[in-house]
């Protein structure tokens, strides 16, 4: 199991523009359910620095490269159009896979 975790941050005063860009991105890059299953769908938190949004997807076998390409296209589109927008993408393994790399059997 490969999970891709995407975290984005943007300033408080850019919330309305961020929302409009999100709608535009969803039209331009619609979700492709053949690539991944959404695990966490844009959870939003207001922080003292601005807004933080987290999404997670369980990537289907052999689809990581294509998923990351589409994800990065959408994130870069927003970054080019929204001052102060930052993002981070993390590719994560399940605990079973991580333990396997170490030659250990996962207890779960």
pLDDT over 80 at 106, yes or no: no
Length of the chain (residues):
108
| Residues β-bridged to residue 10 | 51
Alpha helices in 1-108 (DSSP H): 15-28, 64-81, 95-101
- Return the closest-CA partner of residue 7 out of 42, 49, 53, 38: 53
- Return the closest-CA partner of residue 71 out of 19, 8, 13: 8
pLDDT digits (tens, 9 = 90+) for 33-45: 999 999 999 999 9
Rounded to two decimals, the pTM is 0.87
pLDDT at 24: 97
Domains of the chain, residue spans: 2-101
Phi, psi of 55 (to 5 degrees): -130, 150
Query: For the domain 2-101, what is the CATH code?
Result: 3.30.70.100
């Amino acid at each position: 199991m490969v999970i891709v975790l995407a975290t984005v941050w943007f300033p408080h005063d850019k919330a309305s523009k961020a929302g409009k860009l999100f709608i535009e991105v969803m039209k331009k890059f619609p979700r492709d359910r053949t690539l991944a299953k959404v695990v966490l769908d844009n959870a939003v938190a207001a922080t003292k620095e601005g807004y933080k949004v987290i999404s997670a997807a369980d990537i289907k076998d052999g689809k990581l490269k294509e998923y990351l390409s589409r994800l990065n296209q959408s994130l870069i589109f927003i970054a080019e159009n929204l001052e102060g927008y930052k993002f981070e993408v993390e590719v994560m393994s399940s605990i079973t896979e991580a333990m396997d790399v170490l030659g250990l059997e996962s207890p779960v």
